[in-house]
Chain A
């Protein structure tokens, strides 16, 4: 969870405006992007199965006669010390993690991008105040800020989501602000102003499409960080509360039983690693597709 947040600064030159549908196809043809899409598709299906109650058992149903049973045909991934089915609990934990990640990143993206666009578009004092606020937020190591906020709001998954959103907000402000600065002085924006278009219309129709690319890349990386942080806070007992299943809490509980039941530790850990890696791959793929100037595989193309 202390992994540094990977960020991209908003490029000084705005990328080409996005056309709908086009980039999804290109993402599929990118190796990283495709693997990321496949992993996340699979995990989303598992979470969906849990949401619809399609898992073999209820994630909180106890089977006292089957405590600490290893992986078998009855319990695919084994059971824990209360005889609860690990496979069902991992699916439910994925659902809990993805729920927190999606809610927090949605809040951070909407508010952060709005802040960044406003700062970049209006400039002057607005820009300076928003800039100073983001500087202050950046002065906190991310996880400490999240800890302090959860401590203030109280434990629980929703407060965890809010904490993650607050930590990630300034990053979206920065990512959105950069390209807006370069678009702002373009002729077509000036022409729009002369024609009397209102700022909201200009921003929505002419500025937003130009800043969408870096924001989309950042969303994938933010989701990955959110899953890391949610499971970390749950590990500490501050996030999702028992008996609701949570991957972080499962890892924490499994530590003392490791010598007798390795599956308790291995499978929830694997789910977290898969989710984080899948989102990182998706982020890499999106970066390759949407922002060619920062491509990871650049060396390949330039080799002579």
Chain B
């Protein structure tokens, strides 16, 4: 892994993120209404022209768009994401408190999805066309076909009807304060997300395994009398792991955005809920900052996955 390659990829990532910030900035400027209408609502109609003018200059809305963009970008780079008008909190504080919730959810879901998906995939590919294989493939198909909001809605409906459990954002317990309560609150949303991931991972694992299993080195390994388990995990899976790492990396990135709906349903105070409330309350500062933060993590995860290739597969030449 050469430093030059790393530098080029980082530069690429920075360029991409600049584009992301620009796109989000422009998209949100199309929204009718601005911070002033969001702040004052209908009462905004009672403001005099002079009051509107001074408010516009207070929020910087009278500046040309490029100036608004670069001043926003500059403050973001120095860690100042602005202030949420409705709650009065700094956006950076809102993000910092929501970020751990989403990252924890994404990590838990990834662990569940990858573990379940790889085991099921190997299990089914090692016995092609058996009953077990058909069942595992059926799981894969259904897991991809059930939207996570349907699964989440069903889980919450059953939990509240049978056990009187109603998720609430107010009662959220951070991991380091009450780890057990926290895990209990994160378990169901993580399972819901994990099952969808497991389905995709299972399908990838199965086809990668079958591809490797037909190669000559596998026949040799079997021929020299290695235990099937050893052939399966040490030989086949070692070589089949590249597409699996790829899909796990891609999925982790999607999880960062895809938690939106599940966080909403399970009332977890994460980034997803932050974005949704931001959209409802027309809070530019919140929405654009959160989306840029998520996109930044997405780009970094993808970079990390690319670099991981080289560790797994020495044939990959990074320069």
The CA of A277 and the CA of B141, in the complex, are separated in Å by: 7
Please count the residue pairs between chain A and chain B whose beta carbons lie under 8 angstroms apart in the complex: 175
A-B contact pairs, 9 of them (CB 8 A): A3-B196, A4-B247, A139-B299, A143-B254, A143-B258, A251-B149, A251-B153, A276-B144, A276-B146
A-B pairs, top 8 by smallest CB distance, nearest first, are A2-B258, A141-B257, A299-B210, A277-B145, A136-B19, A258-B157, A259-B161, A144-B257
8 A Cβ contacts from B217-266 to A: 247, 250-251, 253-262, 264
A88 at the interface (CB under 8 A from B): no
Asked whether A281 lies within 8 Å of B258 as measured between CB atoms, the reply is no
A272 at the interface (CB under 8 A from B): yes
Asked whether B150 lies within 8 Å of A273 as measured between CB atoms, the reply is yes
A244 at the interface (CB under 8 A from B): no
Contact of A251 among B150, B200, B211, B255 (CB under 8 A): B150
B27 at the interface (CB under 8 A from A): yes
Q: Interface readout for A103-138 with B: 1 if CB under 8 Å, 0 if not?
A: 000000000000000000000000000001101110
The CA of A303 and the CA of B125, in the complex, are separated in Å by: 12
Q: How far is the CB of A177 from chain B (nearest CB, A)?
A: 18
Asked whether B257 lies within 8 Å of A142 as measured between CB atoms, the reply is yes
What residues of chain B lie closer than 8 Å to A148, measured between beta carbons?
24, 27-28, 279, 287, 291
Asked whether A147 lies within 8 Å of B279 as measured between CB atoms, the reply is yes
The CA of A235 and the CA of B254, in the complex, are separated in Å by: 19
B112 at the interface (CB under 8 A from A): no
- Give the nearest-CB partner of A301 in chain B: B214
Asked whether B20 lies within 8 Å of A136 as measured between CB atoms, the reply is yes
With A141-B254, A151-B31 already in contact, the answer to whether A3 and B148 are too (CB < 8 A) is yes
Asked whether B294 lies within 8 Å of A141 as measured between CB atoms, the reply is yes
Q: How far is the CB of B217 from chain A (nearest CB, A)?
A: 15
The CA of A156 and the CA of B116, in the complex, are separated in Å by: 38
B158 at the interface (CB under 8 A from A): yes
The CA of A133 and the CA of B146, in the complex, are separated in Å by: 32
Asked whether A298 lies within 8 Å of B210 as measured between CB atoms, the reply is yes
B207 at the interface (CB under 8 A from A): yes
A269 at the interface (CB under 8 A from B): yes
The CA of A196 and the CA of B123, in the complex, are separated in Å by: 58
With A251-B149, A252-B153 already in contact, the answer to whether A142 and B275 are too (CB < 8 A) is no
- Give the nearest-CB partner of B157 in chain A: A258
- Give the nearest-CB partner of B29 in chain A: A152
Asked whether B144 lies within 8 Å of A139 as measured between CB atoms, the reply is no
Size of interface on A: residues with Cβ below 8 Å to B: 52
What residues of chain B lie closer than 8 Å to A141, measured between beta carbons?
253-254, 256-258, 294-295, 298
Asked whether B260 lies within 8 Å of A147 as measured between CB atoms, the reply is yes
B16 at the interface (CB under 8 A from A): yes
Known interface pairs A147-B276, A148-B287; 17 further A-B residue pairs with C-beta atoms within 8 A, sorted by A's residue number = A3-B196, A4-B250, A136-B19, A139-B17, A140-B295, A141-B256, A235-B153, A235-B261, A251-B153, A259-B160, A273-B150, A276-B145, A280-B141, A298-B207, A298-B210, A298-B211, A300-B128
With A147-B279, A231-B147 already in contact, the answer to whether A139 and B298 are too (CB < 8 A) is yes
- Give the nearest-CB partner of A258 in chain B: B157
B154 at the interface (CB under 8 A from A): yes
Asked whether B147 lies within 8 Å of A1 as measured between CB atoms, the reply is yes
The CA of A149 and the CA of B200, in the complex, are separated in Å by: 27
What residues of chain A lie closer than 8 Å to B19, measured between beta carbons?
132-133, 135-136, 139
What residues of chain A lie closer than 8 Å to B157, measured between beta carbons?
254-255, 258-259, 265
B101 at the interface (CB under 8 A from A): no
What residues of chain A lie closer than 8 Å to B260, measured between beta carbons?
2, 143-144, 147
A12 at the interface (CB under 8 A from B): no
The CA of A299 and the CA of B28, in the complex, are separated in Å by: 48
- Give the nearest-CB partner of A234 in chain B: B149
B146, B193, B275: residue with the most chain A Cβ atoms closer than 10 Å: B146
What residues of chain B lie closer than 8 Å to A151, measured between beta carbons?
28, 31, 279, 287
8 A Cβ contacts from A259-292 to B: 259, 265, 269, 272-274, 276-277, 280-281
Asked whether A299 lies within 8 Å of B20 as measured between CB atoms, the reply is no
B142 at the interface (CB under 8 A from A): yes
With A142-B257, A298-B211 already in contact, the answer to whether A232 and B129 are too (CB < 8 A) is no
8 A Cβ contacts from B21-47 to A: 23-24, 27-28, 30-32
Asked whether B153 lies within 8 Å of A152 as measured between CB atoms, the reply is no
Asked whether A140 lies within 8 Å of B142 as measured between CB atoms, the reply is no
Q: Interface readout for A175-210 with B: 1 if CB under 8 Å, 0 if not?
A: 000000000000000000000000000000000000
Q: How far is the CB of A248 from chain B (nearest CB, A)?
A: 7
- Give the nearest-CB partner of B247 in chain A: A4
8 A Cβ contacts from B117-176 to A: 125, 128-129, 141-142, 144-150, 153-154, 156-158, 160-161
Contact of A265 among B27, B125, B154, B279 (CB under 8 A): B154
Asked whether A228 lies within 8 Å of B147 as measured between CB atoms, the reply is yes
- Give the nearest-CB partner of A275 in chain B: B145
What residues of chain A lie closer than 8 Å to B150, measured between beta carbons?
231, 251, 269, 272-273
B213 at the interface (CB under 8 A from A): yes
With A258-B158, A302-B214 already in contact, the answer to whether A273 and B294 are too (CB < 8 A) is no
The CA of A139 and the CA of B153, in the complex, are separated in Å by: 29
Asked whether B161 lies within 8 Å of A258 as measured between CB atoms, the reply is yes
- Give the nearest-CB partner of B192 in chain A: A2
The CA of A4 and the CA of B144, in the complex, are separated in Å by: 9
Asked whether B251 lies within 8 Å of A147 as measured between CB atoms, the reply is no
The CA of A272 and the CA of B150, in the complex, are separated in Å by: 9
The CA of A209 and the CA of B185, in the complex, are separated in Å by: 52
The CA of A5 and the CA of B251, in the complex, are separated in Å by: 9
With A252-B153, A272-B147 already in contact, the answer to whether A140 and B279 are too (CB < 8 A) is no
The CA of A276 and the CA of B196, in the complex, are separated in Å by: 13
The CA of A153 and the CA of B31, in the complex, are separated in Å by: 6
